[in-house]
Structure 1
């Protein structure tokens, strides 16, 4: 299972074939089954093949992480607020103002059941399985972000693709630096929750 040919086939199926197929019309139940099987496969490989212990590292630089994340969040907040103010004012902070309980529920569900599985697949699994196949770290980071963006193709929204590509770059850089699924998941959750808060949740498939 560690051969290059096997990994390339695995790579194509998990990160290209499946995401593209999700953009095609066929029964949702089949998509759910495929997604769950893929996730269980990823967990199996991480545990049994890559020998991942899923332990929180003791030497994480939390201060530096939150400093960098808050700086980036500030830039994201300014840009997305300006976008919503000029392009989509009716949805600007609409959920948090008019439906605060729904807003809290969205943040909780998203953070627990969407963010962590995504980071486990697109950062932990992706880096451990394929980083050794690339000589250029820059190419590897860009490829990771592009495939993360591709995973959102089923939304059929150009802005979502751009946002997830930028997010993919940020998350990949964080994981490359920290090797921590926990930290990159927290970062992902913070940025994603902000998008829902500012009013971009509807384009990401959440009720508004």
Structure 2
């Protein structure tokens, strides 16, 4: 089960075949069941390799906070201008008009979306598939492509672009810090901002009509 051929096949099934299959119309219960089964397999693989028992390296943590704040400010400016021009009625609508819903979204998104995604696409992916690609920049690119592919079911070109860019940022952060916690913080910070500024609907969360 640790041969390169098996590992490559596993990657294809989990990170290509499964996300693409969600474009096919079949019962949601089956989709949810398959997703939970795949996540269980990932957790089993992580437990088997005792990944979480290894002390997180937490490399470059000083740079992490500075760089993350800098990137966040850029993202905040760009997205605020975008929402203001494209759909001004959405701008900060949820936190201002539906504060309770906004807080629920942030909690659900952080713990039921961000954390599982980072466990799968960074912790498991980097631990399991690094041996397949020698070039770290190519490996980061592949990781970002597959992370974007995971959001294909939303059928939004803008989401594909956002998640690809996010995938690059998160992969690079994980490569530098080797910390699931830190990369999850970064992911949650950017994602929660998108819901706050008014881009939640494109990410399948309640928006102005929610």
Q: When the two structures are superposed, what TM-score results if normalisation uses the length of structure 2?
A: 0.95
Q: CA deviation at 1:54?
A: 4.4
Is the CA contact (8 Å cut-off) linking 2:174 and 2:180 kept in structure 1?
yes
CA RMSD of superposed structures (Å) = 1.3
Task: Return the alpha-carbon distance in structure 2 between the equivalents of residues 59 and 184 of structure 1.
Answer: 11
Residue 29 of structure 1 corresponds to 29
Residue 2 of structure 1 corresponds to 2
Q: Is residue 151 of structure 2 the alignment partner of residue 152 of structure 1?
A: yes
Distance 1:74 1:56, change over 3 A: farther
Equivalences for residues 68-107 of structure 1 within 5 A = 68-107=67-106
Q: CA deviation at 1:51?
A: 2.5
Structure 1, unpaired ranges of 5+: none
Residue 115 of structure 2 corresponds to 116
Task: Return the alpha-carbon distance in structure 1 between the equivalents of residues 109 and 54 of structure 2.
Answer: 23
Is the CA contact (8 Å cut-off) linking 1:160 and 1:203 kept in structure 2?
yes
Task: Return the alpha-carbon distance in structure 2 between the equivalents of residues 166 and 185 of structure 1.
Answer: 15
Q: CA deviation at 1:64?
A: 2.3
Is the CA contact (8 Å cut-off) linking 1:56 and 1:182 kept in structure 2?
no
Residue 64 of structure 2 corresponds to 65
Task: Return the alpha-carbon distance in structure 1 between the equivalents of residues 54 and 108 of structure 2.
Answer: 23
Number of residue pairs the alignment of both structures matches: 207
Q: CA deviation at 1:89?
A: 1.0
Is the CA contact (8 Å cut-off) linking 1:56 and 1:180 kept in structure 2?
no
Task: Return the alpha-carbon distance in structure 1 between the equivalents of residues 37 and 130 of structure 2.
Answer: 23
Of 151-160 and 89-98, deviating more is 89-98
Q: CA deviation at 1:137?
A: 0.9
Task: Return the alpha-carbon distance in structure 1 between the equivalents of residues 133 and 57 of structure 2.
Answer: 29
Q: CA deviation at 1:52?
A: 1.3
Which 4+ runs in 1 deviate beyond 6 A? Answer: none
Is the CA contact (8 Å cut-off) linking 2:42 and 2:124 kept in structure 1?
yes
Distance 1:47 1:181, change over 3 A: same
Secondary structure (helix, strand or coil) at the match of 2:42 reads helix
Secondary structure (helix, strand or coil) at the match of 2:172 reads helix
Task: Return the alpha-carbon distance in structure 2 between the equivalents of residues 104 and 151 of structure 1.
Answer: 25
Distance 1:174 1:32, change over 3 A: same
Structure 2, unpaired ranges of 5+: none
